[in-house]
């Protein structure tokens, strides 16, 4: 009985350490955060083009944030990958000419919609955030 209890405790400890040891790379963005990002980029056209539109733009943007966007810390496995520098990507300033590049990178406030990132890639695309240890990963849409 004591041996079974010890094995059970060890098994629970092992499972716990494995689950806590994994880095959660999918970010959880609130609907309010996503709305703020949309409004920052689309400004006074946000309702017309995204929120009140018959297009699927809102659901596509939500899918992008919630299912296909990852911001992770740089790992050795990315060493040989072809990483695009974020600084080489233009701004999406068609509707907001006042948009500026982020001076410093903050993972929790970063608005990827500000940049002309390929948010509907055919294959996974990776961007290196200049002067940081962060990689932005955009996965392809499952609804192709």
Decide if 9 is inside a domain: no
Decide if 37 is inside a domain: yes
Tell whether pTM > 0.85: no
Domain extent at residue 81: 26-138
| pLDDT for the residue numbered 18 | 36
Q: Please give the helix or strand (H or E) that residue 70 lies within, else none.
A: strand 69-73
| pLDDT for the residue numbered 144 | 52
Decide if 7 is inside a domain: no
| pLDDT for the residue numbered 134 | 94
Measured CA distances, 24 to 68, 111, 131 (Å): 13, 19, 22
Per-residue pLDDT tens, the chain, 144 aa: give them: 555 444 443 434 434 333 333 344 456 899 999 999 999 999 999 999 999 988 899 999 999 999 999 999 987 777 767 789 999 999 999 999 999 999 999 999 999 999 999 999 999 999 999 999 899 999 998 765
Decide if 144 is inside a domain: no
Domains in the chain, number: 1
Measure the CA angle with vertex 29, ends 132 and 113; round to 5°. Answer: 65
| pLDDT for the residue numbered 1 | 58
Decide if 89 is inside a domain: yes
Residue 23 Rama label (left phi>0; alpha psi -120 to 50; beta): beta
Distance CA 113, CA 127 (A): 14
Decide if 12 is inside a domain: no
Decide if 120 is inside a domain: yes
Decide if 33 is inside a domain: yes
């Amino acid at each position: 009985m004591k041996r079974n209890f010890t094995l059970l405790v060890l098994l629970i400890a092992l499972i716990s350490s494995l689950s806590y040891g994994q880095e959660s790379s999918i970010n959880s963005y609130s609907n309010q955060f996503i709305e703020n990002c949309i409004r920052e980029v689309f400004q006074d056209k946000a309702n017309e083009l995204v929120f009140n539109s018959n297009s699927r733009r809102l659901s596509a943007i939500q899918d992008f944030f919630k299912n296909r966007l990852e911001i992770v810390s740089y790992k050795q496995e990315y060493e040989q990958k072809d990483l695009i520098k974020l600084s080489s990507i233009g701004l999406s300033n068609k509707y907001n000419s006042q948009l500026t590049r982020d001076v410093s990178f903050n993972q929790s406030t970063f608005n990827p919609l500000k940049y002309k990132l390929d948010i509907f890639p055919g294959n996974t695309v990776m961007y290196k955030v200049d002067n940081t240890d962060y990689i932005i990963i955009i996965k392809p849409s499952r609804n192709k």
